[in-house]
Each structure stands twice: as structure tokens, then as C-alpha cells.
Structure 1
């Protein structure tokens, strides 16, 4: 007979394990010495110790689900309860009991975390609804429309709530978007109607201009053409695709008249050549303003030159395009400088750039925290996935910061 603290082998080869409830038979051994029998069943006990230790580490350091953990605990408990091993089986049962408590605790923690996530998602969706409802009354058609599309993308990225709450919030969100779309559609429909009315007005002006183009009553007809030009400018703009054609027809009718008048008044050629010389001098004076270094001074100087230009009168027709082209180039340069200055100092554009930069910075900071938590939890796959997303957001942030610098911010 052989005996150890946790078991023994009797003369018949029966192997027993000692438990708080007394001895239990774990098997029999006939092929060797009692010491070998005890060693065999002690090794089975050690395997149970190793398996329980591995499960303890998985529960502690990985995201093993409560269902899988419970299943593994039940499997190990069945092996311990069968008692086909020699060792402190009660201690193993105690460790399994502790694992059950740990899994239950983690289950409650995850349940609470899901509840928190649901509450955060509800608050986020309520904030999206509130912003969408505010935007529904905006007249900033482009920026508000872009922002509403961004809100939809944000909504899609949030988890679903319970069906009733999610449906109610989505109904409000969708209603706000629909209200904005209807207002925008109505606005542009009115704008289209206005432009169509402008087109009809300009067609009438073209009709009169074409009717006058054969007149030889030079003074009154020229005066009426000037009035038609003022009416044309006051009429506003038609649709873009029609405006150029309308203008070409209107100018063509005027050109017919003025060309005929020019042929009659050939004696005025000398005066027009003199006008050309004066306009060439003015064009040269204007060209000295380039490149634009002082916008305010350049605009003032160009106004003075323009007033003198208008006072000069007509130039020979074959020189008109060239001299007007020179002056037009300077005028375009001033307009472009003015537009560039407006874009640079536009507070609304700067505020949007700053807002976008802030949002991207928050997203980058949040992703960095999530990566750190994933690394700390040993979840390498999740950390690598988050790092890929972080790299993309960081690139967007760098681009937004570069854009913000262009506003001097």
C-alpha cells in the first residue's frame, strides 16, 4: 500500500483521492507500482490545474464572452467533480467558483457598458435631431445642405436604439431634412421663375434693339440704345446657358446700328484715332498698377482711370477689342485680387474651417485613447484596426490645419 497527502493506493490497486467529504475512488492500477499509480493520477490533477489557470488568464486578460467562459467552467467543473485525479480537488472547485463570480461580474459590467453606450447614442442622436431641426429653417442653401448630408453620415455611424426611440428620433430627423429640402426647392423654383421672367424681358429688349438696328436717325437712336442698355442691366440675369446667347444677340443689334453710323461719319475717324491714343495712355497708366500690391489704392486709381476712359469716347472699331482687352485685363486683375482678399478674410469660411479642424482633432484624440486601451487590454487586432482609422483621420486633420493656416489662423 502507498499513500500521499491527497491520495493512496490499497493492496488491490484501487486508487483513492482525499476530499473534505471523504475518500473517493478515482481508478485502479495493476500495471506498476503504487507510486507510479499515484504519479499518474497526480499528473491528471496537474493538467486540470494548468487548464484552470489558462481559463483564469483568458477571463482576466481577453474579451472572452460570458457564454464561452461559462461553458468552459462547466466543462472543467465536470472533470473536477468526476474526481479522476489525485490532488486538492476542493481547491480547484473553489477556483472555479471564483471564476464564476468573476464572469458574472464581467457580465454585469458589460451590461452596464452597453447601457452607457445606448444612452450616449441616444444623446448623440438627439443632438443630431436638434441641429437638423435648426438647419431646417436656414437660408444658407449650400452650407446647410452639406451639413445635413454630414449629419446623415454621422447618424449612420451610431448604433441603433430600441425600435420605438430610434424610429421617433429618425422621424424627427427625416422631417427636418424634408422641410429644408422643400424650402430649398421652393426657393430655387422661385429663382428659376424670376430668371425666366428676366429672359422674357430681355427678349423684348432684343426685339426693340433689332428693330432699331437699321435706323439712320443717329442721335435719338443712339440715345435709345443707351436707355436699352440701362434697362438690360436693371433686368438682372437670366439662366446661365441663355444669358450669353441673349447678350450676343443684343450686342449684335447695337453693332449693326453703330457700324452703319461709323461708315456715315468717316470724318470722325481722326477724332476716334485721337481717342485711341488717349485710351492707350490710360491703358498704360492702368497697367502700371500691376501687379496689385495695394488693393485699396489700385481700386481708387482704377476708378479715376475708368472715369477718364468713359469720358474719352469711341475709338476705331478695329482697335476696340485690343484696347478694351488691355483695360479689361487690369480690371480682372483688380477683381481677382478683391475676391482673393474677400476669401482670405471671410469669417464664415474661417469659422467652418476652424470647426472642422476641431472636430477632426477630437476624433484623432479619441482614437488615440481607444488604441491605447486596446493595446493595454492585449487586443492587438482591434488596436491595429483603430490605428488604420487613426492614420486616415490624422491625414484629414493635417489637411484641415493647412487650410486653416491660409486664413491666417
Structure 2
């Protein structure tokens, strides 16, 4: 007979394993010595130890499903319970029981993780739906369209929810995209119609412009061209393939007319240059009236200068603003002197100015008190608003006071 701490072989070749419930028959061994029998069943035990160890590692380090892990555990447990190995079978059962606990823990963790991922996916999809519904109302057709396409890609990368929730959210998401597409289609259809209307309107303008290009009625025709340009700008843009061609024809017709007019006007340049010289002399004569000390004499002198000015005729267009600006400066000075004299001698205007000053001063005083009250109550927003109103009233008061001073001057 041969034995070790966990098993023995009797004289008949029967192999036993020792357990907490007593000895259990492992099997019968007739092929060799008792030592070989124990060694064989001990190797079977070691095989179970290795198999459990590998399963423990898979459970801890891989994504082995709880279902598959439990099937593997049950398979090993059947071998342990069959007592076909010699060794500490109780220890193997303990390890298997712990492994079951580990699998259940992992099962619960994965369940919670899936629930968390589902909640996160739900939140993400709800956010996508909300953004899509906001974009559905946008008029930024290009950027909103690109963003909606990006949202679709993001949606595809998210996990699916339960069918009911996923279908409901997708319905809202899809509806928002459809609503945007419908609005965009309607917008561009309307835009196409507007551009077609613009094309027809501009074709009429081009036809008229081309008909006027040979006109020698310089003034009225130039004025009509200006009106046509205004109509052109207000007509809107035609389709891209028509706009440039229509513009080139429209502008070309004007160029023909204005080139012809320029040729005729060139003959007048010499006369206008002489006119400019004469008007510059009159402007210098008028500037000598400044500053105005004798309003009556200055007015008479300027009237004489103005009569001679009107008799001279046109000057070159590019010189007109400067020389006319000089004479207008003297004219404004005369007007200001006349206005000052009138205000100085107008009792009714003085009374109105004084009355306005009193009203404005009362309003300024009232606002100042309201601001102090608001500040004391801690209502700075109201105080700031009242301060802006006070600043405006104060500016009006300063102007009114200046007017009263002028009356008293």
C-alpha cells in the first residue's frame, strides 16, 4: 500500500482521496505500482490547479464574459466534484467559489458600466438633438449644413440605446435635419426666382443704356444714365453666369456715351480755364471782406461780387469744389453775421431761449436729486441710466445758456 497526505492506494489497486467528508474513491489502478498510481492522479490534480489558475487570470485580465466564465467554472467544478484527482480538492473548491464571486462582481461592474455608458450616450444624443433643432431654425445655410452633417457622424459613433429611446431621439434628430433642408431648399428657390427677376430687369436696363450710347443730348442723357445706375443697384444680382456679361454691356454703353461727351467737352476746357482764373480773382476779392465789421457794406460788396461770379460761366469740374468753397466760406460768414444780428434784436426769441433755459435747469436739478436718491438706495443701474439722461439735458442747457449770453452781448 502507498499513501501521501491527500490520498492512498490499497492492496487491490483502488485509489482514494482524502476530503472533509472522508475518503472518496478516485479510481482503480492495475497497470503499475501504487506510487505510479498516486503520481498519475496527483498530475491530474496539478492539471486542475493550472486550469483554475489560467481561468482566474482570464477573468481578471481579459474581457471574458460572465456567461462564458461561469460555463468554464462549472466545467472545472464537475471534474473536482468527480474526485478523479488526488490533492487538496477543498482548496480547489474554495478557489472556484472565490472565482464565482469575482465573476459576479465583474458582472455587476460591467452592468453598472453599461448603464453609465448608456446614460452618457443618452445625454450625448439628447444634446445632439437639441443642437440639431436649434440649427434647424438657422439662416446660416453653409455653416449650419456643415454642422448638421458633422452631428450625423457624431451620432453614428455613439452606442445605441434601447430601441424605443433610440428611435424617439433619432426621429427628432431626423426631423430637425429635414426641417432645415426644407427651409434651405425654399430659400434658394426664392433666391433663384429673385435672380431671374433681376436678370430680366437688367436686360431692360442694358437695352436702354445701349440705345442712349449714341445720344448727343449730354445733360439729360447723363442724368438718365445716373438713374439707370441707381436702378441697376436696386435690381439685385442676377445669376452668376449672366451678371458679368450684363454688367460689361451696361458699362460699355455708358463708356461710349461719356467718351463722346468728353471729346466735346475738351473743346470747352480752354474757356473754362479762363473762367477759373476770373473766379479765383473774385474769390480773393470776397475774402478781403473778412472778418466782417460792417455788415451792410459787406453785404453790398458781396452782392456785386456774386453778380459778376454768375456771369462768368462754368469752370473745370475738378477745380469747382475748391473755388466755390472759397466763395461759400464768405457767404456763410455773412449769413452767420446776419443771424447773429437778428438774434440780438429779436425779443421774442430771447424770451423763448430764457424760458427754455429755466425748464432745462429745473430738469437738471430734478435728475440730480433722483440720481442721489438712487445711489443712496443702492440702485446703481437706475442711477447710471438717469446720469445718461442728465448728461443729455446738461448739454442742451449749456447750448441754451450760450444763446442767452448771445442775446445779452
> If the TM-score is normalised by the length of the shorter chain, which range does it land in?
0.5 to 0.7
Give the greater-gyration-radius structure (CA): 2
1:336-355 equivalences under 5 Å are none
* CA distance in 2: counterparts of 1:66 and 1:26, whole angstroms: 31
Q: Find the counterpart in structure 2 of residue 57 from structure 1.
A: 57
Secondary structure of the structure 2 residue equivalent to 1:25: strand
Alpha-carbon deviations, 1:364-401, whole Å to 9, x = none? xxxxxxxxxxxxxxxxxxxxxxxxxxxxxxxxxxxxxx
Aligned residue for 1:198, secondary structure, equals helix
* CA deviation after TM superposition for structure 1 residue 157, in Å: 1.0
Specify the alignment match of 2:34 in structure 1.
34
Query: What residue in structure 1 maps to residue 257 of structure 2?
Result: 257
Q: SS at 1:12's partner residue?
A: coil
| Match of residue 127 from structure 1 | 127
Partners in 2 of 1:28 and 1:270 — Cα distance? 140
1:324-351, Cα deviation, whole Å (9 max, x unpaired): xxxxxxxxxxxxxxxxxxxxxxxxxxxx
Q: Please, what TM-score do these two structures have when normalized by structure 1?
A: 0.62
- Structure 1 unaligned residues grouped into runs of 5+: 272-309, 314-409
Which residue is equivalent to 2:80?
Answer: 80
Q: Deviations over 1:91-148 (max 9, x none)?
A: 2122212212221221222122212211211111111111111222222222222222
Instruction: Please tell me the root mean square deviation across aligned C-alpha atoms, in Å.
Output: 2.5
Please give the TM-score of this superposition, normalised by the length of structure 2.
Answer: 0.62
Q: Which position in structure 2 is the counterpart of 1:240?
A: 240
Equivalent residue, structure 1, for 2:214: 214
Q: 1:260 to 1:94 in 2, by over 3 A?
A: same
Once residues 30 and 49 of structure 1 are traced to their aligned partners in structure 2, the CA distance between those partners, rounded to angstroms, is: 26
For the pair 1:94 / 2:117, whether they are aligned, the reply is: no
Distance 1:161 1:102 in 2: 28
Per the alignment, residue 309 of structure 2 pairs with: none
Structure-2 residue corresponding to 1:48: 48
Structure 2: 5+ residue stretches without partners: 272-316, 321-409
Asked if 1:70 corresponds to 2:80, the answer is: no
- Corresponding residue of 1:177: 177
1:160 aligned counterpart, secondary structure: coil
Q: Give how far 1:87 is off.
A: 0.8
5 Å-filtered alignment, 1:284-295, equals none
Instruction: Name the CA distance, whole Å, in 2 between partners of 1:10 and 1:248.
Output: 118
Whole-angstrom distance in 1 between the partners of 2:268 and 2:191: 46
Tell me how far apart the structure 1 counterparts of residues 80 and 39 of structure 2 sit (CA, whole Å).
17
Give the distance between the partners of 2:44 and 2:188, measured in 1 at CA.
82
CA distance in 2, matches of 1:237, 1:47: 87
Q: Deviations over 1:146-168 (max 9, x none)?
A: 22222111111111111111111
Residue in 2 aligned with 1:118? 118
> Matched residue of 2:216: which SS?
coil
| Number of corresponding residues | 276
Output the CA distance in 1 between the equivalents of 2:72 and 2:137.
58
Q: CA deviation at 1:8?
A: 0.8
Q: Distance in 2 between matches of 1:12 and 1:84?
A: 18
